[in-house]
Amino acid sequence: MPLSFSLASVGSFFCRIVRNKTTHKEHPRGGNLKGPSLTQPCQRCQAHFFVCVCSKGWWCGACCGWWWSAQDKRQSKSPDGDVIDCIHVTHQPAFDHPDLKNHKIQMKPNFHPEGHPFGESKVSSNSKPITQLWHQNGRCPEGTIPVRRTKKDDILRTSSVQHFGKKKQSSFPQPKPAKPLPDIISQSGHQHAIVYVEGDKYYGAKATINVWDPKIQQPNEFSLSQMWILGGSFGQDLNSIEAGWQVSPDLYGDNNTRLFTYWTSDAYQATGCYNLLCSGFIQINSDIALGASISPLSKYSSSQYDISILVWKDPKEGNWWMQFGNDHVMGYWPAPLFSYLSDSASMIEWGGEVVNSESDGQHTSTQMGSGHFPEEGFGKASYFKNIQIVDGDNKLRAPKDLGTYTEQDSCYNVQTGSAGDWGNYFYYGGPGRNPNCP
């Protein structure tokens, strides 16, 4: 009997028992698995063991890897070990969200920001286009979306099922008397090298991001390069939309560089997740898989590769759209997911973030960006270029009065500039632990 069907049978039996007797169960790796939805399991995933302990159906995306493999015939095995399932666009996890039960999929945005070369080819810093590894062994047909299959080991690496696919809840620094610290999404053990803009209403952001494979010291640490679209009081009601690339052994089980998204409407407390690991983001694109490995990657003093990401608010529907490159409209975060971002963003950030767990009592050697400091420049340090914001007229323009921020510039740093085809740009990153960063 195939593993997917045997697990489903066991899971279905277990679900019936648990629904009748209890509302929580101890996870084998510790932590409470609360289950307020035990009487309402995910409709498409109710046969899977983990669904019994899911909260409000939000973990259907994380729990259905085996179920999908049994139900959908079309899949692709990536050279890196990932399995990409081709799921019908109407069967994705987004529709388990209580606010999206009767949501009608918007298959394309009503408007693109003016000034964005949608559908046009553009010369980049490399001659070989960025792809994803799974493309080597297949593609998904129209009408479906590619979903990276979640494995049992992916879930067991986390402290509990409820925390799988989520960032840890932030602890916020005390604001300065004049204005808040720009690092408003900082949390204990996290360090940044960012460029930011605030003081206006923002309706999107864009950047072209150099892609590397930074080294990670501990499996529970990560390194990412992304942009944040932020709204709220920067307390417990923070709204955030995030997109970029990351290396996260704890989340994915390897050190590959992967495309990712994240969202939250309550400062990383209960809402939101990475990629499609919970309900929320609605994907319409059949070519690009969130959470899948990016290829090729930049090499020191050699070929350089980058990806372009645009996120903007549709002026008509109010949904927040994401585009990858010039040709791939990925999908959108529906307006009902957010409170403050239902209007506009109040801050945009671009840059890098790492986790510094100080596991051996010293600063981590986890790298940010390329692992080299900004002053080394092109081909050696990682960069963001053509950073732009979307204004109230749905036009892309250069941000004004850019600020920079880093907690320890001897560990990771950032340097800005502006020139020609690169527009507003910055180099960022660093090696972490070094003689000046013990």
Token pair, residue 85, equals: 């399932």
Which one from 198, 221, 242, 349 is the annotated catalytic residue?
242
Residue 307: C-alpha distances to residues 23, 105, 266 (Å): 44, 27, 29
Q: Looking at residue 386, what is its pLDDT? A: 98
Q: Looking at residue 125, what is its pLDDT? A: 52
- Candidates 4, 55, 50, 60; CA nearest to 28 is 50
- Candidates 291, 42, 320, 312; CA nearest to 145 is 291
Q: Looking at residue 223, what is its pLDDT? A: 98
Q: Is 295 helix (H, G, I), strand (E, B) or coil?
A: strand
376 C-beta neighbours (distance < 10 Å), count: 15
Active site residue 242: yes
Active site residue 375: no
Q: For tokens 């809840």, what's the residue?
A: 169
Helix (H) or strand (E) holding 153: helix 152-156
Q: Looking at residue 345, what is its pLDDT? A: 98
Q: Looking at residue 76, what is its pLDDT? A: 87
Per-residue pLDDT of the chain (438 residues; tens, 9 = 90+): 444 333 333 333 333 333 333 333 333 223 332 333 323 334 444 333 333 334 344 444 444 444 444 444 588 899 999 999 999 999 898 888 787 878 889 999 999 999 866 543 343 455 568 899 999 999 999 999 999 999 888 888 876 666 677 776 653 322 233 344 444 344 568 999 999 999 999 999 999 999 999 999 999 999 999 999 999 987 889 999 999 999 999 999 999 999 999 999 999 999 999 999 999 999 999 999 999 999 999 999 999 999 999 999 999 999 999 999 999 999 999 999 999 999 999 999 999 999 999 888 899 999 999 999 999 999 999 999 999 999 999 999 999 999 999 999 999 999 999 999 999 999 999 999 999 999
pTM: 0.81
Q: Contact 80/252 with Cβ under 8 angstroms?
A: no
Q: Contact 268/275 with Cβ under 8 angstroms?
A: no
406: left (phi over 0), alpha (psi -120 to 50) or beta: beta
Q: Contact 345/324 with Cβ under 8 angstroms?
A: no
Which one from 198, 221, 349, 353 is the annotated catalytic residue?
353
Residues 6+ apart with CB under 8 A from 38: 18, 19, 22, 23, 52, 53
In the chain the domains, ranked by start, together with CATH numbers, are 1-71 (no CATH), 146-429 (2.60.120)
Q: Is 428 helix (H, G, I), strand (E, B) or coil?
A: strand
Residue 152: C-alpha distances to residues 73, 158, 239, 293 (Å): 20, 11, 30, 19
Distance CA 379, CA 210 (A): 10
